[in-house]
Amino acid sequence: MHAIPLRHDETFYPESDSQPMGETEIHRDEIIYLIEAFKRRFVDAADVYVGGNLFLYFRQGDPAAVLCPDLMVVQGVPKKPRRRIFKLWEEGEAPCLVIEVTSDSTSSRDHEQKKTQYARLGVEEYFLYDPLGDASSAHLHGFRLVQGRYRRAALEPDGSLVSHTTGVTLRMEEQGIRLVETATGRAFRRTEELAADLATAEEELSRLRRELG
């Protein structure tokens, strides 16, 4: 998709809907982890943009034509500059992957309205993650675009879900979702885990200094 604007656009595209985000602490933390983990996955790729909780406008001149994915990965566009909004007709590429962190209150909209809209935009993979298991017995659901329509993606025997477009596997662990590089098995650690590793390393360094001093 490489749409080129044919006229000057004076439409105002809001950066926020001024509504409070009614997220549980668990949902918020999981969204943050997914965004950070995917950013680390593509840290060396200058032409892959990772964003989340960002307005995605998909029809020029129509500010009502907007979605706000919890996580989106867009290949073939520059990582920088940092966006305040994402205008599909200017960027020229739709996300290859969208993940919505869903719950009882959002499940119907995520499974129906958003699913239909993302399919129309050509989003190749659409994943739903329910961290509390409220909406269904399964935490992960995946859909892949086949001839313009979403087909359900089969889970792996261990319940994990593989993203073909990004080369990662999403799997459930006791503390929540875990992002793993499919080809290497490298797991992307959470901020609190990285902080614990750093604290352990600093303690070990202090111990060695005491022994040598």
Residue 83 lies in a domain: yes
| Residue range 60-89, pLDDT digits in tens | 999 999 999 999 999 999 999 999 999 999
All residues at 6 or more sequence positions from 136 whose CB lies less than 8 Å from its CB, including other chains: 107, 130
Residue 93 lies in a domain: yes
Domain span holding position 123: 25-212
Number of separate domains in the chain: 1
Residue 7 lies in a domain: no
What would the mean pLDDT of 161-183 be, rounded to a whole number?
A: 95
Per-residue confidence band for 7, with pLDDT thresholds at 50, 70 and 90? low
Residue 5 lies in a domain: no
Residue 11 lies in a domain: no
d(CA 113, CA 119): 10
- pLDDT value for 116: 94
Query: Which CATH number does the domain housing residue 166 bear?
Result: 3.90.1570.10
All residues at 6 or more sequence positions from 141 whose CB lies less than 8 Å from its CB, including other chains: 111, 127, 128, 152, 161
Residue 96 lies in a domain: yes
Q: 7 is written with which tokens?
A: 């006229």
3-state SS, residue 3: coil
Residue 6 lies in a domain: no
Residue 205 lies in a domain: yes
* Beta partners for residue 177, in sequence order: 172
